[in-house]
Amino acid sequence: MIEQAQQVLERHFGYSKFRPQQETIIANVLAKKDTLVLMPTGGGKSICYQIPALLFDGVAIVISPLISLMKDQVEGLRANGIKAAYFNSSLDPVQERQVINDAIDGSIKLLYISPEKLFTITDNWLKDVQVSMFAIDEAHCVSMWGHDFRPEYTQLSSVRKQFKTVPFIALTATADKATRKDIIKQLGLSKATVFLSSFNRPNLSLEVRANVPKKKKIKEIISFIENRPNQSGIIYCLSRKQTEEIAKELKAYHIEAEAYHAGLSAQKRARIQEDFINDDLSIITATIAFGMGIDKSNVRWVIHNNLPKNIEGYYQEIGRAGRDGLPSTTVMYYNLRDLMVLKQFASGSEQTPIYTEKLNRMLNYAEATSCRRKILLAYFSEDFKHDCGNCDVCKNPPQFLDGTILAQKALSAIRRTNQEIGTNMLINILRGSANQELYSKGYQNIKTYGVGNDISFKDWQHYITQLINIGVMEIAYDEGFRLKITNFGNEVLFKDRKVKVTQALDRSVKKKEQKKKAKKLTKQEQLFEELRQLRASIAKKQGVPAYIVFHDATLQQIALELPTSEEDLLTIQGINQVKVERYAQPFIDLIQAHKDKQMNTFEVTYRFYQQGISPEQIAEERGLSMTTIFSHLAKLYSDGKDIDLSIYVNTSEVQQIREAYLQIKSINSLKPYFDFFNEKMPYYKIKLGLTIIMKELAH
């Protein structure tokens, strides 16, 4: 059946090949075996159950925790010509009856439903439905070890007992070892095959900024956004108040942003979410409740205003950026106060030891002095063998220094104040501050008063945070956040045990980010913007999110390859026959108009080439992309102009492309070749190589 699965992938989803592990997972489900899938956000989990659902007889039941997530998934499926529905509290009685009838007579292939709603129908009309399979989305919700435990998920094991012969597939993007074991146990999966995909998202850059003062942080965020005009982003905050404050600050700088949190009315939350999904609103400042039910593919950045509670949540939240595979940015801010607040949250829970340990792991990540991606992936039991080169530590490695004297000064001050002070008071003592509270307690008279006055308040914060993290001192959260000396600290103080700390340098940002001058868009970038506007117009008329029409990655490929027929559009990844029938003509008209404007552009490039000017210089001179210039050279070569393409693609590379052509047997799209070479051969070389080969075959 896997050949049929391949056909379904192309016909309904517009992709020529499966992503890593998808084919094996689908084969396992088609063999009616229970399956647990761990795959990162944007990795293609949904296809792992959607394709088997289309191949099985009957209706697949998809358990999903959020109404917005169900709506999003169903809209996407319908846009691909797939019959799907959801059954939740948003439906009126007439709509409910229609869905029930469609499920019973088998006129839909997938039915999305919440766990709570599922339990109301298992002994009712669901018995009259031919259930083909169950898919449990966000499966980590079933486990107390998971970061988003939901008690209603634990009852799903009763459904497993009721439908013993029906295959179950559980899917999640975030689960450590303990959570994985618990998912299998809690759901009662039978001899489940576990598929663990790489959690690496190389397109996401990772950056952490520690102890940045509030006002400076706001300025940095504003500068960050101004340097990324028209990009969608999310700013996650610990509290509702913070979401409101940051949104207000951004609006003061004429940056459109809206706060999103549970304190807003359901109507307002729905409106903000719809505006964000439909690209009518670019920026959301939100509590972590936002985003779980959103499949928006073109979020270009995620900022955490505070330290997240755990690595699972952090990983899921940054995973909302760059789901289309295009480069995206993530930044996390944190300070000691975040840690105090989160420790308080953890101490008030029945699961305090679990939450505290997970918070400590999050802190270890934030304080990392080695590749952050290695630490992140190690948490999910993945061995990443080399530094990523796309995190702040890799880009700007920290410098270490002997922190023993610094630690001894701080520990001595804590000891001389009978371990009754917090971090701010400790720093004020070390810096010799004329603080009223300090004087009222007589701390100006202790021996260590002013011994660290050569170090700034911010730098002392940096050092003390590290000393806490490595266990030299600890915070007594149940004693008003007083600092206490540990056994390790006593060894540093009295036995001269050595301590290393990183220098208090702003290593995440070497120099203040300045607002970039607006650069002139290349022709390809201009076309991409025109395609985006056309997509937005079509999406608004149809009442669907823009990415339901085409993803940004699809538009970029259209802008690169310039298809001017329905057949050409079908060669673009992510476009199937249904989408061609619905959307092709306006896009073809726009591309043709763009090409008509460029009729003389080839001659201009040729004149530059004849003068011995390099493609790089031609691109810069003409305000075009390198890809466009190489496309011109390929066309000129095909038309018989005196062009030497061997300068840009050598004989060995042409031979490799020739071997690929013998397997692919098509030149309609460069993407299959790019995939064939595991994304290691640039598009322009593929284009030039195929041009040489086609000219050889024509003679």
Amino acid letter for position 249: E
Q: How large is the average pLDDT for residues 301-307? A: 96
Reported as a single tens digit per residue, the pLDDT across 11-67 is 888 888 898 899 999 999 999 999 999 988 777 889 999 999 999 999 999 998 877
* Amino acid in position 625: S
Residue 510: pLDDT band with limits 50, 70, 90: very low
- Domains, the chain, in order of start with CATH, read 2-196 (3.40.50.300), 204-395 (3.40.50.300), 400-502 (1.10.10.10)
**Segment 464-502, tens digit of pLDDT:** 877 886 778 887 756 777 899 999 999 999 998 998 888
Q: Which of 172-176, 458-462, 552-556 is least confident?
A: 172-176
User: How many CB atoms are closer than 10 A to CB 492?
Assistant: 23
341 vs 137: CA distance, rounded Å: 31
Q: What is the mean pLDDT of the chain?
A: 87
Tokens representing 401 are 């220094």
The more confidently predicted of residues 118 and 177 is 118
Maximum average pLDDT range among 67-71, 245-249, 476-480: 245-249
Tokens standing for residue 570: 């079908």
User: Which residues are CB-neighbours of 338 under 8 A, at least 6 positions away?
Assistant: 238, 306, 307
Tokens for 466?
């590290």
pLDDT for the residue numbered 337: 85
Nearest to 86 by CA among 76, 74, 100: 74
Check the CA dihedral 358-360-364-367 and report its sign. positive
- pTM greater than 0.85 (yes/no): no
Q: What is the pLDDT of residues 340-374, one digit of tens each?
A: 888 887 776 666 777 887 888 898 899 888 789 98
Who's near 434: CB < 8 A, 6+ residues apart? none
pLDDT reported for residue 386: 85
CB 678 within 8 A of CB 621: no
Contact at 8 Å (CB) between 429 and 413?
A: yes
Structure tokens belonging to residue 622: 């003409």
pLDDT at 508: 42
| DSSP codes, 96-139 | HHHHHHHHHTT--SEEEE-HHHHHHHTTTGGGGS-EEEEEESSG
Helix axis angle for 423-430 and 457-469, nearest 10°, is: 130
So what's the pLDDT on residue 509? 42
pLDDT tier at 223 (50, 70, 90 boundaries)? very high
Which residues are 113's β-sheet partners? 63, 87
Neighbours of 673 (CB within 10 A): 23
Residue 381, pLDDT > 60, answer yes
Question: Residue 440: left if φ>0, alpha if ψ -120 to 50, beta else—which one?
Answer: alpha
pLDDT at 35: 95
Residue 150's pLDDT band, with cuts at 50, 70 and 90, is confident
Going by pLDDT thresholds of 50, 70 and 90, the confidence category of residue 147 is: low
pLDDT score recorded for residue 507: 42
Q: Given this model, what pLDDT does residue 291 score?
A: 58
How many other CB atoms sit within 10 Å of the CB of residue 27?
14
Tens digits of residue pLDDT in 447-471:
999 999 999 998 998 898 778 867 7
Q: What is the pairing mode between strands 59-63 and 257-260?
A: unpaired
Torsion of CA 163, 168, 170, 171, to 10 degrees: -130
Q: Would strands 400-402 and 500-502 be described as parallel, antiparallel, or unpaired?
A: antiparallel
Q: Which amino acid is at 357?
A: E
Cβ-based neighbour number of residue 642 at 10 Å: 9
Q: Taking the CA atoms of 210, 211, 216 and 222 in sequence, report the sign of the dihedral they define.
A: positive
Q: Where are the alpha helices (DSSP H) in 509-576?
A: 523-542, 546-549, 552-561, 566-570
What are the pLDDT digits (tens) for 562-619? 888 888 888 888 888 888 888 889 999 898 888 777 656 788 888 889 888 999 998 8
pLDDT for 278 equals 84
- Nearest residue to 558 (alpha-carbon basis) of 533, 524, 581: 524
Helices in 311-456 by DSSP H: which ranges?
Answer: 311-318, 336-347, 352-366, 372-379, 392-395, 404-416, 423-430, 436-440
pLDDT digits (tens, 9 = 90+) for 621-661: 877 788 889 988 998 898 888 999 999 999 999 999 999 99
Range 672-677 contact pairs with CB under 8 angstroms and sequence separation of 24 or more:
672/16, 672/17, 675/16, 675/17
> 269 falls in which pLDDT band (50, 70, 90)?
confident
Is the pLDDT assigned to residue 515 strictly greater than 60? no
Q: Is 474 helix (H, G, I), strand (E, B) or coil?
A: strand
pLDDT(671) > 50 = yes
